[in-house]
């Protein structure tokens, strides 16, 4: 089976999951933490080399504060659990903003992985325009080095993006790294994650003909 090197995870549907359970919209995120570490372990064990989780965006921070506090707390906890696991962690997003949790500042440079672990990226207060913005100040940008000159230059090209929660859109997720990525949508909400989701996504990916635009 052909295994993607880098998998993107869009863990959507937390609020809808909570509402369906009769809980407040903010209660979904804490139920997305176990899926986060389970999916990391599953992908690592399958031979994937890098995984990127869509935490929250600068767009998301316009939501009511009880929600922004809840997803910010979940991102801090997710980062700590990935560190405990021994992942090579990079937290990436606009850290100049007060919406970026200061607890995560140490991880805006990548940590070293423990033996047997892989690279894990967590987008926190990320914005696609923030990501591309550095192109304007870069010197000598040409078609071969755009990727090197964006904020997320330490995040590699994505092979496969899996989105939970049924929506078929990227919602600003790493536009440069997503250019050639295959996109798989799981209808279940993220807190209802189970290993079959990833197994099905990888079985589907295995059947795709990768051309990189050629």
Footprint on this chain of its own copies (rule: CB under 8 A): 57, 59-60, 62-63, 127-130, 132-133, 135-136, 138-139, 141-144, 146, 149, 167-172, 175-176, 178-184, 208-209, 211-214
Query: What is the C-alpha to C-alpha distance for residues 125 and 142, in angstroms, rounded to an integer?
Result: 28
Query: What is the C-alpha to C-alpha distance for residues 15 and 194, in angstroms, rounded to an integer?
Result: 18
Nearer to its own copies, 109 or 171 (CB): 171
Q: Is 92 exposed, middle or buried (0-12, 13-18, 19+ CB in 10 A)?
A: buried
Nearer to its own copies, 1 or 136 (CB): 136
Please report how close the Cβ of residue 19 comes to its own copies at its closest, in angstroms. Answer: 13
Please report how close the Cβ of residue 116 comes to its own copies at its closest, in angstroms. Answer: 31
Please report how close the Cβ of residue 209 comes to its own copies at its closest, in angstroms. Answer: 8
Please report how close the Cβ of residue 145 comes to its own copies at its closest, in angstroms. Answer: 9
The strand order across the sheet containing 88-92 reads: 88-92, 119-126, 50-57, 6-10, 160-164, 182-186
* Residue 44: half-sphere exposure toward Cβ, Cα within 13 Å: 19
Nearer to its own copies, 26 or 89 (CB): 26
Nearer to its own copies, 53 or 107 (CB): 53
With CA atoms as reference, report the closest residue to 110 among 88, 85, 84: 88
């Amino acid at each position: 089976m052909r295994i993607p090197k880098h998998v993107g995870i869009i863990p959507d549907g937390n609020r809808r999951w909570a509402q369906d359970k009769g809980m407040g919209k903010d209660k979904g995120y804490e139920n997305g933490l176990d899926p986060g570490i389970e999916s990391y372990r599953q992908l690592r064990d399958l031979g994937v080399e890098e995984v990127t989780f869509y935490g929250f965006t600068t767009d998301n921070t316009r939501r009511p504060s009880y929600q922004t506090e809840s997803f910010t707390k979940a991102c801090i906890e997710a980062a700590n659990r990935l560190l405990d696991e021994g992942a090579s962690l990079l937290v990436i997003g606009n850290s100049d903003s007060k919406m970026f949790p200061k607890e995560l500042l140490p991880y805006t440079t990548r940590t070293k992985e423990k033996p047997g672990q892989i690279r894990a990226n967590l987008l926190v207060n990320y914005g696609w325009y923030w990501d591309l913005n550095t192109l304007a100040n870069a010197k000598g940008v040409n078609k071969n080095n755009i990727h090197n000159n964006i904020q997320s230059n330490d995040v590699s090209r994505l092979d496969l993006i899996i989105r939970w929660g049924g929506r078929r859109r990227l919602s600003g997720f790493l536009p440069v790294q997503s250019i050639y990525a295959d996109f798989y949508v799981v209808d279940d909400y993220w807190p209802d994650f189970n290993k079959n989701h990833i197994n099905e996504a990888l079985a589907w990916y295995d059947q795709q003909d990768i051309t990189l635009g050629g």
